[in-house]
Amino acid sequence: MRPLVTADEMRAADEAAMRHVSRDTLIERAGLAVAIAATRLLPRVYGASIAVLCGPGANGGDGRVAARHLASRGASVRVFDALALPAVIDGVDLVIDAAFGTGLSRVWDAPEVPGSVPVLAVDVPSGVDPDTGVAAGRSLRATRTVAMGSLKRGHVLADGATLSGDVEVAAIGIEVRDPLVGLVEDADLDLVAPLGRDEHKWRRALVVVAGSPGMLGAPALVCEGATAVQAGMLLLSSPDVPRRQDGPWPVEVVRLAASATELAKVVGDALDRARALVVGPGLGRSSRLEAAVHEILRATREPVVLDADALHLVDCELLLARQSRGGSPVVLTPHDGEFAALFGSPPGTDRIAAAQRAAQQTGCTVLLKGPTTVVATPTNTPGAPGTLVVTTGTPDLATPGSGDVLSGVIGGLLARGTSAHLAAALGAHVHGLGGASLGVRCRASAIPAAIAATLEARAASRSVPRAG
């Protein structure tokens, strides 16, 4: 995981670095990193016309150093005062936005720049809140951003996710220690332990409580998602759906017939041999189901994923009381509407803070779905940030049943012994990768195979021997 820091965390890291190196040295390093990034955006530096917008702070200092380096290589560089800018900047080959960084506390409106002109932002696009990603005024859309020392939360949230463009981190001698929030990367998928030679199906068994008459696609997608991450035995109970009824679920799935009133006992018996439980997709909502889900939560000792309808059958007090008694890990997977119903209000602009509050209110791991997915736990996890952020999601995943597949993926990872925190974050990450690989062909039933292919390719890349 790569650190995602707030402005305060970055200031603390800056101050720690300046015990060993001067501020001027850090600005020189940062400015050189910006100049190098600028050369990559230009077909040639010699003769290029470059506008550098410089504010009064450290960002402006970075921009001035970059301007000096680029001018020394033959570029025609003009430095603009960010407090007295023209309305339009044109006739240039590149704009470097070094106006304001993480310390900006007021609305700033950028000048107009022709859409064909690349923009290189220094640290964060000016005007973007480094903690929430919200742009209060009119910011320039960067082609690329050079982040100093660490990624900021604003690079992956709200407006900042779009305005930052491609983000690269410049290692200028600033070290971030013990970050509270981390960004999940492809390499983190290696944290899922490979299957042992002595594996058997019951060691990775998963119980799925999903589906109802007329809603049989949801449990099938959950089971397919779990199979994509190599869950073992799959035991499915769809209340009030007869055992003899055919459905779209995989033929390998074992059906557990039960009415809503019998559900808690049937599931409890099945969990004697299973490792994890998924509850909710297509389940429906009724007083009988609510009572059954509450009883299952009281009795189960295995990790649980609560998704879709299950999120409407529980409340924060019930969950917190269960977790306070030492209950097994629970993963909640709300989208914004489900979040508002469960917690009383929508997440708002600061999605990281919203997920963290929700985790504290329930004692559960909370996966807040969205273009940027946030996974928060009520306590910091040893060896990893307590909150993880996933950015692999694409608009193509906004398709019916996609969330059902995700709950199955998370359940499958739990059944394999992955911690709730990592199962949720890594599940969301590989779910996003699978969806992205499908592009416009993305539909829920195609995602499990894409996930399996993604994991297979990752495993193959790890097994290729290194040269030398």
Q: Are residues 65 and 199 in the same domain?
A: no
Q: For the chain, how many residues are written?
A: 468
Contact between 408 and 278 (Cβ < 8 Å): yes
CA distance 56 to 62: 11
Per-residue pLDDT, 250? 85
Instruction: Among 155, 179, 203, give the residue marking a domain's end.
Output: 179
Residue 81 lies in a domain: yes
Q: Are residues 117 and 202 in the same domain?
A: no
Per-residue pLDDT, 467? 52
| Domain containing residue 142: CATH number | 3.40.50.10260
Per-residue pLDDT, 200? 84
Residue 264 lies in a domain: yes
H runs (alpha helix) in 202-307: 217-228, 263-270, 287-299
Q: Are residues 166 and 191 in the same domain?
A: no
Contact between 86 and 111 (Cβ < 8 Å): yes
* The total number of structural domains that make up the chain: 2
Residue 441 lies in a domain: yes
Residue 468 lies in a domain: no
Dmax (CA) for the chain in angstroms is 79
Its domain, for residue 43, covers 2-179
Residue 194 lies in a domain: yes
Q: Are residues 333 and 425 in the same domain?
A: yes
Q: Are residues 253 and 206 in the same domain?
A: yes
Q: Are residues 174 and 222 in the same domain?
A: no
Which tens digits make up the pLDDT trace of 80-114? 999 999 999 999 999 999 999 887 767 889 999 99
CA distance 406 to 427: 7
Residues (pLDDT < 50) of the chain are 468
Q: Are residues 249 and 280 in the same domain?
A: yes
Contact between 299 and 322 (Cβ < 8 Å): no
Taking the C-alpha atoms of 329, 273, 405 and 186 in order, what is their torsion angle to the nearest 10 degrees? 60
Q: How far is CA 375 from the centre of its chain?
A: 7
Per-residue pLDDT, 184? 97
Per-residue pLDDT, 103? 74
| Domain containing residue 328: CATH number | 3.40.1190.20
pTM: 0.93
H or E element at residue 351: helix 351-362
Residue 354 lies in a domain: yes
Residue 172 lies in a domain: yes
Per-residue pLDDT, 265? 95
Instruction: Among 164, 179, 194, give the residue marking a domain's end.
Output: 179
Q: Are residues 157 and 287 in the same domain?
A: no
Residue 37 lies in a domain: yes
Helix (H, G, I), strand (E, B), or coil: what is residue 447? helix
Contact between 389 and 373 (Cβ < 8 Å): yes
Per-residue pLDDT, 383? 59
Nearest by Cα to 225 from 405, 399, 426: 405
Instruction: Among 119, 147, 179, give the residue marking a domain's end.
Output: 179
Q: Are residues 35 and 121 in the same domain?
A: yes
Q: Are residues 260 and 169 in the same domain?
A: no
Q: What are phi and psi of 71, to 5 degrees?
A: -65, -35
Which tens digits make up the pLDDT trace of 76-86? 999 999 999 99
Q: Are residues 313 and 240 in the same domain?
A: yes
- Report in angstroms the alpha-carbon separations of 462 from 100, 145, 189, 455, 465: 42, 30, 11, 11, 8
Q: Are residues 86 and 174 in the same domain?
A: yes
User: In the chain, how many H helices and how many E strands?
Assistant: 13, 18
